[in-house]
Amino acid sequence: MKMRIKKGDQVEVITGKEESKGKRGEVIKVLSKENRVVVQGINLVTKHQRQVQSEGKTVNPGIVKYEGSVDASNVMVVCKKCNKPTRVGISRNGDTVVRVCKKCGGLLD
């Protein structure tokens, strides 16, 4: 199934962990096969990395934080016009397809 969330969209977390719920962020990556998205500043994961030396490459040890993925059903796209989380509709104008806000009818693309 094709996802209606794209890279660069502003989204709001509607359900999930209490510290993430209600926060907004920009979509960094869309994983369409897994139906997941990676949102900037949401679902931070801590990884303890050990030093590895292989073929001239050295990975520095330490604690690394990065964004984990979130299920796409747990976020909603924020409309640029009305600044509210909304469902995404599809509108066709001739041969072009655009995404529209279901609340105000504004364009999301």
Q: How many domains does the chain have?
A: 1
Q: Is residue 19 part of a domain?
A: yes
What are 59's strand-pairing partners? 52
| pLDDT, tens only, 52-103 | 887 777 778 899 999 999 999 999 999 999 999 999 999 998 899 999 999 9
Residue 57: the pLDDT is 74
SS3 state at 74: helix
Does the pLDDT at position 18 exceed 70? yes
pTM to 2 decimals? 0.83
Q: Is residue 55 part of a domain?
A: yes
At 105, list the tokens.
């009818």
Handedness of CA 23, 18, 27, 32 (dihedral sign): negative
Print the domain residue range for 44.
Answer: 10-78
- How far, in Å, CA of 83 to CA of 35, rounded? 24
Q: Is residue 87 part of a domain?
A: no
Q: Is residue 86 part of a domain?
A: no
Residue 70: the pLDDT is 95
- How far, in Å, CA of 101 to CA of 103, rounded? 6
Any idea what the CATH number is for the domain that residue 61 is in? 2.30.30
Q: Is residue 97 part of a domain?
A: no
